[in-house]
Chains A and B, each alone.
Chain A
């Protein structure tokens, strides 16, 4: 009987020890879980801040690009038109009323053209409103300025008008990506033909740009660390969970295909 009681006592003592250890390990587990949760939240917060900083940077770059376009337009287009108007008006001989009338008419036409150009430029000044009418319109505007230069043969298929979905943050990044790609083409590609194709399907936005320029070796650029524009493109695409496929062959041009989950 005594032995049985001793056995029960041992059982109870061991049981109690286990029953005290269980809450101890439970508390340890909860502490570890909460610590991981805290780290995860901090990580998320950091990522959010990074994204916001990147968005701000993108906006600044878009505005900078717009300013450059406006400056070029004012110098090359409006400036020339107004100079021509001044020359025409200066050459008016009031004694010859028939010729003077024609010159005044011509000057008026030049002034009207200048006003039209200035209106177009004014639209661009609202850099942040560029994507307000949708990514389709923003891309179209970007292509319009490119076509105005007359330096490239363009083939454009823009199917992004009247999209039922929108994502202003992504729109801004997509527009900046296109600007960066076009800039790279203008600065380095020496192309004569550019093909731009953009469309939306299966909750994905596709943007494809192809040109017939001199091409380059991506690995070489990466090694020389000169491809900063490309790095920035890759970084931004990664930020919005997109994909980029780049194909380039020396003297055979470059093609860039971008896929972005949208909206």
Chain B
């Protein structure tokens, strides 16, 4: 069975880039990125290992969702605070996501994939990303978009959660296999993850450049 998946490779590259480019960063959010990617890599690796041993691993991924929600909201907070006070929005979204997670964990059990939570949080993330774009366009200041790390971080999130919307919606009936042992859902998941990690690597390069210019 496969232990090393494209997601693990993408996350590993992303983590290496983050360590190289962000470890000296003084802003907390960028350092938290390293920690998050580290945990994401461990989660993915252990999840793959459990899967290779044919051990049930949904509970493991469900636990990671809690951290994923918190991290993405923290990132959105970091990006939005440049323009508004995002606390009500962030805590509101976080509250809704956790409430749904807990409700479905009680109703369906912790070993059932928290797809509703993922769908709802994806919608919230997409809405907040679009709101960030709106604020960016409305703002009078002109930013060098090509090297603006916050913009690219948000873009990566938008690609990942918006791109995964259809597969989230059809999660329960989507076991169609394109290749042997490769369901379509998994392929979509690979693609969106690779896009996410690639854009995040570019984000970290932008951040390192920005830090150099500011120092």
| In the complex, A115 has a CB within 8 A of chain B | no
Flag if B165 contacts A26 (CB, 8 Å).
Answer: no
> Could you say which residues of chain A place their CB within 8 Å of the CB of B145?
30-31, 34
- A-B residue pairs, 4 tightest by C-beta: A15-B166, A9-B176, A20-B163, A38-B142
For chains A and B in complex, what number of residue pairs have CB atoms within 8 angstroms?
69
Other-chain contact of B188, A5, A12, A22, A23 (Cβ < 8 Å): A12
**Mask: chain B, 126-170; 1 = CB below 8 Å from A; 0 = not:** 000000010011000011011000010001001100111111001
A38 to B142, CA, bound (A): 6
> Could you say which residues of chain B place their CB within 8 Å of the CB of A60?
none
Flag if B167 contacts A30 (CB, 8 Å).
Answer: no
Main secondary structure of the interface of B (DSSP, over half): helix
Flag if B195 contacts A20 (CB, 8 Å).
Answer: yes
Flag if A8 contacts B133 (CB, 8 Å).
Answer: no
Flag if B137 contacts A30 (CB, 8 Å).
Answer: yes
| In the complex, A33 has a CB within 8 A of chain B | yes
In the complex, 30 of the A-B residue pairs with CB atoms within 8 angstroms, ordered by the A residue number, are A5-B175, A6-B176, A8-B170, A12-B166, A12-B167, A12-B170, A12-B174, A12-B184, A12-B185, A12-B188, A13-B184, A13-B188, A15-B166, A16-B163, A16-B164, A16-B167, A16-B191, A19-B162, A19-B164, A20-B159, A20-B162, A20-B163, A20-B191, A20-B192, A30-B133, A31-B146, A33-B137, A37-B142, A38-B142, A41-B142
Q: Measuring CB to CB, which residues of chain A are less than 8 angstroms from any residue of chain B? A: 5-6, 8-9, 11-13, 15-16, 19-20, 22-24, 26-27, 30-31, 33-34, 37-38, 41
A164 to B74, CA, bound (A): 54
Flag if B155 contacts A27 (CB, 8 Å).
Answer: yes
Task: Tell me how far the C-beta of A7 lies from the nearest C-beta in chain B, rounded to whole angstroms.
Answer: 10
Number of interface residues of B (CB under 8 A): 29
Flag if B184 contacts A9 (CB, 8 Å).
Answer: yes
> In the complex where A5-B176, A33-B137 touch, is A23 in contact with B159 (Cβ < 8 A)?
yes
Q: Measuring CB to CB, which residues of chain B are less than 8 angstroms from any residue of chain A? A: 133, 136-137, 142-143, 145-146, 151, 155, 158-159, 162-167, 170, 173-176, 178, 184-185, 188, 191-192, 195
> Could you say which residues of chain B place their CB within 8 Å of the CB of A15?
165-166
Nearest CB in chain A to that of B133: its residue? A30
A19 to B195, CA, bound (A): 13
> In the complex where A19-B163, A23-B158, A23-B163 touch, is A5 in contact with B143 (Cβ < 8 A)?
no
Flag if A8 contacts B174 (CB, 8 Å).
Answer: yes
> Could you say which residues of chain A place their CB within 8 Å of the CB of B159?
20, 23-24
A16 to B191, CA, bound (A): 10
Task: Tell me how far the C-beta of A135 lies from the nearest C-beta in chain B, rounded to whole angstroms.
Answer: 33
